[in-house]
A and B are shown apart, each in its own frame.
Chain A
Amino acid sequence: MRGHAILRVVSKLLIPYVLLFALYVQFHGDYGPGGGFQAGVIFAAAFILYGLIYGLSALRRAAPQRAVELISAVGVLIFAGTGIAAMLSGGEFLNYGAFSQDYTAQGQHLGIIIIELGVGVTVAAVMVLIYSTFAGRGRS
């Protein structure tokens, strides 16, 4: 895509806002429409756009394959860890109410934010991983 100046400039301008929008969808998810799934996909879309325009090697520099693989697993661990933490605090698996002694709703609020973070991290990482694995097949 070396010759496509417009694409390169426009995507460079857009990518920060796409990432920002993903974060908005992520952290506004407990008040309105949104959440980890959608945010993760939007976040990954920014990376995939970057990879499409600037090439795979640039994407791999920005998001090393090994690191993305690790992050995808860590996201699941955040999710499951929250569930286990709820068990350790005396509730059932994923019963966030157990996080707060006084107000169940407070614990639930905290729980859902962490859970959605785990979901978002995993979805974003897996999406980038799928793209870069497919794109890189047969080159290395």
Chain B
Amino acid sequence: MSEFLGLYPYWVVIFLMMTGFYIVISRGNLIKKVIGLNIFQSSVFLLYISIGKVSGATAPITAEGFEVYGNPLPSVLILTAIVVGVATTSVALALVVRIREAYNTIEEDEIKDEIRTQGAGP
């Protein structure tokens, strides 16, 4: 039991990861897919941040009276990954906007139907 509680950040990560992944796979609405993707990515951000935590340590900024500092590297890495995530999300949303303009829907199956019925077009 104590092992379970001691590893709780990982359970949070796994829960979020699976939630996000499930949304991406199961939802046909493109916006929901993007949201799912964001949740999925956020879980990885949490994973990295929890890697950098050193118990009993303070934030990695040198100050009087502190000996132990947390590891700043994972946070720095994940800052980059967050920026990548923002870029991905905005590209995804831009595509959704254009899909909506072209097909007048953002439901995956309706888009598929439309492609099938309209068929041959370039």
Contacts and interface: CB of A to CB of B under 8 A. Distances in A.
A98 B83 CA distance: 29
B83 A37 contact: yes
Nearest to B60: A33
B93 A32 contact: no
B101 interface: yes
Contacts of B97: 134, 137
Contact of B61 (A32, A130, A134, A137): A32
Interface in A125-140: 130, 133-134, 137-138
Nearest to B93: A134
A interface, size bucket: under 10
Interface in A45-84: none
Contacts of A134: 90, 93-94, 97
Interface string A21-35: 000000000001100
A33 B61 contact: yes
Nearest to B89: A130
A91 to B, nearest CB: 22
Interface string B64-102: 000000000000000100010000001001100100010
Contacts of B93: 134
A123 B59 CA distance: 25
A134 B101 CA distance: 13
Nearest to A33: B61
Contacts of B90: 130, 134
B79 A37 contact: yes
A133 B94 CA distance: 9
B96 to A, nearest CB: 10
Interface of A: 32-33, 37, 123, 130, 133-134, 137-138
Given A33-B59, A123-B83, A134-B90, 11 more contacts: A32-B61, A33-B61, A37-B79, A37-B83, A130-B90, A133-B94, A134-B93, A134-B94, A134-B97, A137-B97, A138-B101
13 contacts: A32-B61, A33-B59, A33-B61, A37-B79, A37-B83, A123-B83, A130-B90, A133-B94, A134-B90, A134-B94, A134-B97, A137-B97, A138-B101
